[in-house]
Chain A
Amino acid sequence: MMNLAQQLREQAKKLLEEKKVDLVIGFGQGTELARNTPVFIDSPEGVSALTWGPFCANNLAKYLVDYKNDPGSTAVVVKGCDARSVNRLLDDNQILREKVVVIGLPCPGQLEWQKVSAEIKPGSTLKEVVDNGDSYTVKTDSGDYTFNKKDYLLHRCLVCENPNPVISDITIGKEIPVKNYEERFAEVQDLEKLAADEKNEYWNKQFARCLRCYACRNVCSVCTCKVCAFDQMQPMWVSKRTNLSENTAFHITRAFHVAGRCVDCGECDRVCPMDIPLRKLNVKIHKDLGELFNSPTPGTEPGLISPLGGFSPGDPEEFM
């Protein structure tokens, strides 16, 4: 994976030197061994900060919206799932295709940094990461640590549909075959089987913990409203109060606001500080939309009409 990082730096440097882009948004080493952080490189010398590996969980596509009014172009480093965000942002008219350069890296899976960190001696320095197919070996100055993917990858990676970026101007790395450790909708099928009041109890317990920090909404690449309904003062749909009623209203409403456009990048779930399994709401909606409208995951191709944003004569109409 070090080799890929080096190739990435070379490509980024070239883009900046040739002034094809003014900015490269990518991953850089974070302040913990097992973490990466978004970096914004605007000079060829700065590309040394770019890195690649299984600690690059962030979806960087949304940052493109911050630079859409800048005169020049922006390059963004994407994995498989984030690339779907780029397609969706294009279809939502949030970014212009000619001002974006997509650097796609096929992704063998992203590790949950807290789980990995707990196993590694604090203060260790990262030397390299080796992808063994079903596991990663993290080599540090305090020793080598191996993590099997089934237990240490982010859950969303276990059901990954697109390890290879579905949109890419510059691809770095070989194509990766789809490898699922779990059936895609298994996590919601268990919930579906519960009775209504059991489902209610489950979700009440989750939403009761919500802090309404809005990390999930802010990180979501399809939540791009200039003034979100939940930030509005006039009228004030929700206050700063965190009770079950407002929390539930927020999560259910947001799940429906993004339904049909959510690309299932799983960032909402990752960023939640209270470990609320948000992705389950969106996965359930994906399942339903697939069954009702036979629609693929949004963002899989550019130009896909959102199942809730368009109409086709063959759509189910039981009530008409």
Chain B
Amino acid sequence: MESRVVNKGQISELLDKLAKDYNLIAPIKEETMTLFRRVSGAQDVLLDYNNSDISPKGCFLPQNEKTFSYMYTGDTLEINKPVGTQKTVLFGARPCDIKAILTFDPVFDGVKFGDEYYSSKRESTVIIGLSCAKVLSTCFCYAMGGGPCDTTGSDLLLTEIGDKYYVEVITEKGQALVDAYSQIIAKQDTAQLAKDKDELAKKLSGEFVRKVDLTGVKELMDNNFELPYWAGDDQKKCIGCGTCTYVCPTCHCFDIFDYTTGDFTGDRLRCWDSCMFPEYTLEAGGHNPRPSRKERIRNRFMHKIKYHLDRYNMVGCVGCGRCVNKCPVNIDITKIINDLKEVAQNA
């Protein structure tokens, strides 16, 4: 597919146009936080940032989603689903977060059951990715098969080079968008820019300081569920909050419940939930298959580096480093992976 150019000076113009024609979701600064929110124009968009504090997965799986509203009197029942999805542009997501959206696809667009809420958003959203300019000490996307300038999953990928944005068109959807904004996303000779991007990618790949190696880890976990390792420090220091799961771009667990809005009316909601909460698997009769932090910690990490692979042939972590950054007690998936590798080697 082709590649194009946007002059840095024109990026505001592009964003303003996108904000007018689409539901534009881009990174913004809110006090000390960097978050993905709907913007009304270029003036709100933060272009100079490392990564957002929580991932943009909310574009496809919002934290609170109304699946339908109902009117129920006991003898009559009416169910009304929300109608229509806005055409959306997700602008400025990093390659790791975009790769994470791909891990949602086999979950929601399943073999037996689809998900209209997810699919409609997925179909009507154009993903414009933004290559990283910097590698943080908490980043480790390379270890999970990704990279700071990776095009996987984007419809368009922008890379900032000098006073231009090098625009790679990856999909038909992306092509349609650049065709619609040809005056700003201009056709130009991009041979040098392509080379510069390769240089950047190479440079960035040398900047990772977090050494993570998955070799042998899945095989270890395939055959050893009751590893003594899981009774160690991680489950002792874990405070059982939902921070890691909520900031994580590949976590997708949710709860479903009703919210009454009147005597006979209400909404059915689907909201994020966390496997780290004790009541997550608590059955009505009182039995809890994962009664302590040990089981829940083990389940979370085995899900990321084994179960997701087993079911969908994709690792369940993209190496964005948010959990490492935000965990109040410094539980670190990269340390756990490296520790497990050591356990595997010593076995």
Contacts and interface: CB of A to CB of B under 8 A. Distances in A.
B324 interface: yes
Contacts of B335: 31
B242 interface: yes
Contact of A274 (B53, B237, B331): B53
Contacts, number: 114
A66 B236 CA distance: 9
Contact of B209 (A30, A122, A218): A122
B240 A218 contact: yes
Contacts of A273: 53-54, 243, 246-247, 326
Interface residues of B, number: 47
Contacts of A117: 137
Interface in B241-263: 241-243, 246-247, 255, 257, 259
Interface in A236-261: 236, 239-243
A31 B339 CA distance: 13
A215 B137 contact: no
**How many A residues are at the interface, by size bracket?**
35 or more
Given A40-B233, A117-B137, A31 B334 contact: yes
Interface stretch (A99-107, A183-191, A206-214, A311-319): A206-214
Contacts of A94: none
A40 B236 contact: yes
B242 A209 contact: no
B42 to A, nearest CB: 23
A240 B207 CA distance: 39
Interface stretch (B73-81, B97-105, B194-202, B269-277): B269-277
Nearest to B234: A37
A35 B325 CA distance: 10
Interface string B267-309: 0010111100111001000000000000000000000000000
A38 interface: yes
B272 A37 contact: no
Contacts of A282: none
B177 interface: no
Interface in A251-302: 267, 270-271, 273-275
B239 A218 contact: yes
B271 A211 contact: no
B223 to A, nearest CB: 27
B317 to A, nearest CB: 15
A296 B32 CA distance: 32
Interface SS majority for chain A: loop
B330 A241 contact: no
Contacts of B53: 273-275
A39 B272 CA distance: 31
Contacts of B33: 209, 274-275
B319 to A, nearest CB: 14
B133 interface: no
Contacts of A211: 54, 63, 242-243, 246, 272
A132 to B, nearest CB: 25
Nearest to B272: A240
Contact of A37 (B63, B278, B330): B330
A50 to B, nearest CB: 13
A240 B254 CA distance: 9
B330 A215 contact: no
Contact of B279 (A231, A241, A271, A275): A231
Given A38-B237, A40-B237, A239-B257, A270 B54 contact: no
13 contacts: A37-B329, A122-B207, A211-B54, A211-B243, A213-B241, A213-B246, A218-B241, A219-B241, A231-B277, A233-B282, A239-B255, A239-B271, A275-B53
Given A63-B236, A267-B328, 19 more contacts: A31-B330, A32-B138, A37-B329, A38-B329, A58-B329, A66-B236, A122-B209, A215-B328, A239-B269, A239-B271, A240-B255, A240-B273, A242-B271, A243-B64, A271-B239, A273-B54, A273-B246, A273-B326, A275-B32
